[in-house]
Amino acid sequence: METIRKSIIIGSGPAGLTAAIYNARANLQPLVFAGLNFGGQLMTTTDVENYPGFPEGIKGPELMQLMLKQAQRFGAEIKYENVQKVDFSGEIKKVFANNIEYDARTIIIATGASARTLGVPGEDRFFGKGVSTCATCDGAFFKGKVLAVVGGGDTAMEDSTFLTRFASKVYIIHRRDQFRASRIMQDRTMANQKITVLWDTEVKEILGSEKVTGVKLFNKKDNKESELKLDGVFLAVGHNPNTAYLGNSIELDEKGYVKVYDKTKTSVDGIFVAGDVHDFHYMQAVTAAGMGCMAAIDCERWLEAKNL
């Protein structure tokens, strides 16, 4: 059993590491559970051009390494372990990793969300080489190109419309004969002359050599396979919040995201949240970092108010 810490941060993406920087500078000596896969979704991103302060852009993994070094510089302790479970029932919050209990006065939850994928051949191979889960992050790399968006919800509609700012043509590939998106989003999408919808169609394989060159499709209505030449595939089939380890310790919404009741405060006193594990609307590195800052400040003020 270790001593009771003032702050434990679960997660090591932009939200978790920004929280670590702020808590460490406040002399809270935070313990960060970075997980076995450190750095969050940016570790699978090549060029990041929309994070402030890097006019020439920066590689996703490099950005996360810089954040990590900054947190460590101010005294944050990093453990590359996954949290297995938590116990927030008492005044002292308990976190379990590698079958060891760690105790703290406050916890910041920043474990993000994982993009759902199709599970088809070529998807992993070409991730970051034409396959993306973030249109706003990567769309500008495809000026004048032909793209596809896979999905049928609001995100697919938003991504398709956004990508027409850069692409010469955008296909929406949807496995059903109607969208799940809101009517206003459907109308806006269907009115865009750059967008063509492929109904009742599934992606069976992503094709390419060094980068994506097309997809193999299957039409469920006529049972025919075909190939479509493309320069990029954007997956818009949703995200899964990384909250399984929380169990019933904290209130989640119907999609499994952590609920917020006051700025970054959760349903449990002394537990705060930051980033995509709560925010499924923006899901950007800069907004996650901003919320990490907010959570750290809320955490520090909570401790001050209780003279801890």
d(CA 102, CA 16): 17
Strand residues in 260-301 grouped as ranges (E): 271-273
User: CA 209: distance to chain centroid?
Assistant: 27
157: tokens are 């509609």
Can you name the residues that pair with 115 across neighbouring β-strands? 239
Cβ(150)–Cβ(232) below 8 Å: no
Phi, then psi, of 167 in degrees rounded to 5: -75, 155
Can you name the residues that pair with 148 across neighbouring β-strands? 171, 233
213: tokens are 């060159």
Can you name the residues that pair with 272 across neighbouring β-strands? 108, 265
Catalytic residue among 124, 137, 177, 299: 137
164: tokens are 């027409």
Q: Which residue has the tokens 């249109």?
A: 135
d(CA 61, CA 67): 10
Helix (H) or strand (E) holding 64: helix 60-73
d(CA 17, CA 10): 10
Catalytic residue among 134, 231, 276, 279: 134
Catalytic residue among 47, 124, 138, 298: 138
Could you tell me which residues come within 8 angstroms of residue 280 by beta carbon, excluding any fewer than 6 positions away? 113, 239, 241, 255, 257
Identify whether 293 is a catalytic site residue. Answer: no
136: tokens are 């706003």
- Catalytically active residues are 134, 137-138
